[in-house]
Amino acid sequence: MKNDIPEPAGARAPHWNLGPVIEELRVSREATHNIRHHGRVRELPSREALTVIVNGLSAALFPTHYGRPNLTDESIDYFVGDTLTTTVNRLVEQVRRGLLFSAQPDDASEEALVQKAGAITRDFAAGLPGIRALLVSDVQAALAGDPAATSVAEIMLCYPGTIAILYHRFAHRLHQLGVPFLARLVSDIGHSLTGIDIHPGARIGGSFFIDHGTGVVIGETAIIGQRVRLYQAVTLGAKRFPAEENGTLIKGVARHPIVEDDVVIYAGATILGRITIGAGSTIGGNVWLTDSVAPGSTVSQAQMRSD
């Protein structure tokens, strides 16, 4: 029984009168019971497991950069094969748990969930070479787009944007395959590591590059084309949320921007609503934009004056 955190001990261990607190917490839990689960306990997907899974996928896709230092032509396929089988076996269990929160759990037997989790995981695995190709295009875009970048290794190891897009591409595929809850967890881990918040529902084309990245927010229904470049603190958000008459928000409506191919959006720009940024446009830093702009536009903020 390990016990590393220091506590007072022996004669000094105090009495805390916790009985009433524990009782109040029990009453409080019962009051919120209805909200939290309907009938049966559902195992939550595990953040720790998903972190290990994303690391495993990254290592299988890019063994030289995210895998093991020692790989040779003799050993690399064994490494990839073993890492991938292990990781996929771990993923299927998390997908099963995720389905408990994504699907209608009431109308699915445990066996049906296991089958569905297996099918989703098999599809996910089959799509990995495609994801790798997208990620390679993203890395090349970074190398081309940042004058401070000196090598592929630097892009892959030192750029938060690379990590963010890596998490996103996995999360988005899980979202597409019908495990949105799991996808959200993956994207939130990426957010926590990088400060870049991309909803797994967002659809993002190849050769995508985010520089610096802290504070970037990309909403659920955003659509981004090929070769788009973003800087820190860019928001692709919703302008308003349609609500039903009783005030309940209507979920799933397309409410985030469409950004066409070859657009550059500089730091701090805020782009809101289901508008379209036409191909090849440049949006200046700190710009606030709620209307569509034609292809090839340049939008910039009026400059401040010094007094």
Q: How far is the CB of 66 from a second copy (least distance, A)?
A: 8
Query: What gap in Å lies between CA 61 and CA 213, rounded to an integer?
Result: 23
> Is residue 209 within the footprint of a second copy (CB under 8 A)?
no
Q: How far is the CB of 216 from a second copy (least distance, A)?
A: 8
Q: How far is the CB of 225 from a second copy (least distance, A)?
A: 18
Q: How far is the CB of 205 from a second copy (least distance, A)?
A: 19
| Sheet of 203-204, strand order | 203-204, 223-224, 258-259, 276-277
Q: Both tokens of residue 220? A: 């659920």
Query: What gap in Å lies between CA 67 and CA 50, rounded to an integer?
Result: 17
Q: How far is the CB of 204 from a second copy (least distance, A)?
A: 17
Q: How far is the CB of 161 from a second copy (least distance, A)?
A: 11
HSE on the CB side for 288, CA within 13 Å? 2
Question: For residues 74 and 107, which CB has a smaller minimum distance to a second copy in the complex?
Answer: 74
Question: For residues 54 and 224, which CB has a smaller minimum distance to a second copy in the complex?
Answer: 54
DSSP state of 46: -
Question: For residues 25 and 112, which CB has a smaller minimum distance to a second copy in the complex?
Answer: 25
Question: For residues 233 and 258, which CB has a smaller minimum distance to a second copy in the complex?
Answer: 233
Query: What gap in Å lies between CA 197 and CA 211, rounded to an integer?
Result: 14
Q: How far is the CB of 55 from a second copy (least distance, A)?
A: 7
Q: Both tokens of residue 48? A: 């720790």
Question: For residues 52 and 223, which CB has a smaller minimum distance to a second copy in the complex?
Answer: 52
The residues in 210-269 that bind a second copy, with binding defined as CB under 8 A, are 212-215, 217, 219-220, 231-233, 235, 237-238, 241, 248-253, 255, 267-268
Is 201 within 8 Å of 234 (Cβ atoms)? no
With CB under 8 A as the contact rule, the residue among 103, 108, 128, 275 that binds a second copy is 128
The residues in 149-208 that bind a second copy, with binding defined as CB under 8 A, are 150-154, 157-160, 180-181, 184-185, 187-188, 191-195, 197, 199, 201
The residues in 27-56 that bind a second copy, with binding defined as CB under 8 A, are 28-29, 32, 35-37, 40-49, 52-53, 55
Neighbours of 251 (CB within 10 A): 8
Q: Which residues contact 63 (CB under 8 A, 6 or more apart)?
A: 71, 76, 79, 80, 83
Hey, CA dihedral for 154, 157, 159, 165, is it positive or negative?
positive
Q: Which residues contact 259 (CB under 8 A, 6 or more apart)?
A: 222, 223, 224, 225, 228, 236, 265, 271, 276, 277
The residues in 272-291 that bind a second copy, with binding defined as CB under 8 A, are 272, 284-291
Q: How far is the CB of 178 from a second copy (least distance, A)?
A: 13
Question: For residues 203 and 298, which CB has a smaller minimum distance to a second copy in the complex?
Answer: 298
Number of chain residues interacting with a second copy (CB under 8 A): 165
**H-assigned helices in 62-159:** 76-102, 110-126, 128-145, 152-158
Question: For residues 193 and 205, which CB has a smaller minimum distance to a second copy in the complex?
Answer: 193
The residues in 71-100 that bind a second copy, with binding defined as CB under 8 A, are 71-86, 88-90, 92-93, 100
3-state SS of 232-294 is CCCEEECCCCCECCCCCECCCCCCCCEECCCCEECCCCEEECCCEECCCCEECCCCEECCCEC
Question: For residues 100 and 224, which CB has a smaller minimum distance to a second copy in the complex?
Answer: 100
